[in-house]
Amino acid sequence: MHGEYKTPGGKLVQVDLDVVDGRLQNVRVTGDFFLEPPEALEIIAGALEGAPSNASEDELACRIAQALKRLHQPVELLGFSPEAVARAARRAIS
């Protein structure tokens, strides 16, 4: 499944995923945004792994934000947000 969301700043966020037994699996997040450190992208995708497929945008964004806080170093998301990723994920599911 594939979902896209173009942020108000014009950056594209794309989420590809599978739904297996009502849970998100094989989540991949891509787009034309910038992220520092780059390895935080794995944290973002990992935060969505195993999430219920009926989770709301707010719930998905919260999972992402909490996972980024656990990284224990500053994370800079330029041109997108946890909410943008969550919206793209919901679009992929529906």
pLDDT digits (tens, 9 = 90+) for 5-34: 999 988 999 999 999 999 999 999 999 999
Give the domain ranges of the chain: 2-93
Whether 37 shows a pLDDT value over 90: the answer reads yes
Residue 10 to residue 28: CA distance in whole angstroms: 20
Q: What is the DSSP letter of 47?
A: H
Beta sheet of 23-31, edge-to-edge order: 2-6, 12-20, 23-31
pLDDT of residue 71: 87
CATH ID of 2-93, from 3.40.50.10490, 3.40.50.620, 3.30.390.50, 3.40.920.10 = 3.30.390.50
User: 44-75 pLDDT, tens per residue?
Assistant: 999 999 999 999 999 999 999 999 999 888 99
3-state secondary structure of 46: helix
* pLDDT of the residue at 9: 80
